[in-house]
Structure 1
């Protein structure tokens, strides 16, 4: 299911109460992932380059003016947040071609939607959760 978020200027009389993904309310952890993904100028530039088109990864690296390894790091963060998708295709010569495109999304963010998302947060600090289980921290301090 494609992601759907809303980002809008505050409109007079508008009531916004939740952050949604394809009609489903997203949780606080998902919101953190999305905001972290958007909090980088390279990733914002990548999103702008992918607007209205899909691009082969090599061309995207050239247009973004960053190395492919760095581009892959940023694309992984955007893909984890559900903002971009990739598709591996075979060229006529049998060469694998990796294309990226934006997942459809709109973001609506306001104090009410943030307050609702915070109620579902499980991440308290990098690598830990409220249940005391690690979310990727392998240092053994669970």
Structure 2
């Protein structure tokens, strides 16, 4: 199924929980919103969002671990390595039915389904 040109896939319960927990943080929502306009490097993104680079890098790491952003190093014109971040196209549709399907695949703390 497509949603606004994005391929929508069903998520396992653990994936859905990880995505929702990651996006539950207002800073991370702002990072996704800023990157929706196009990729950016850490320093410029930190200035745009008005947060420190260490705090931004913490949030970017969590977004990357959830599969919502990607990172790539590029050399600037003066040879400095710069880490650029971009969003990964994603769509999550929440309905009682989609949550019920995902809930069937949740693992317990012991790793059992």
TM-score by length of 1: 0.70
Name the residue aligned to 1:51. Answer: 36
> Does 2:103 match 1:118?
yes
> Does 1:78 find its partner at 2:63?
yes
Measure, in 1, the Cα distance between the counterparts of 2:2 and 2:81: 32
Distance 1:113 1:69 in 2: 36
CA shift for structure 1 position 23: 5.6
Looking at CA atoms only, which structure, 1 or 2, has the larger radius of gyration? 1
- 1:42 is matched with 27
Structure 1 residues without counterparts, runs of 5 or longer? 7-20, 132-142
Is 1:129 the counterpart of 2:110? The answer is yes
Which residue number in structure 2 is paired with residue 64 of structure 1? 49
Q: Is there any run of 5+ residues in structure 2 with no aligned partner, and where?
A: none
Tell me which protein shows more helix as a share of its residues. 2
Structure 2 CA distance for aligned equivalents of residues 5 and 121 of structure 1 = 25
What is the total number of aligned residue pairs between the two structures?
110
SS of the aligned residue for 2:85 comes to strand
Instruction: Output one character per residue of 1:26-80: Cα deviation in whole Å (capped at 9) or x when no partner.
Output: 2110001100111011011111111131111101011111111110111111111
CA distance in 1, matches of 2:56, 2:105: 31
Measure, in 1, the Cα distance between the counterparts of 2:69 and 2:105. 24
3-state SS of 1:58 partner: helix
Shift of 1:81: 1.2
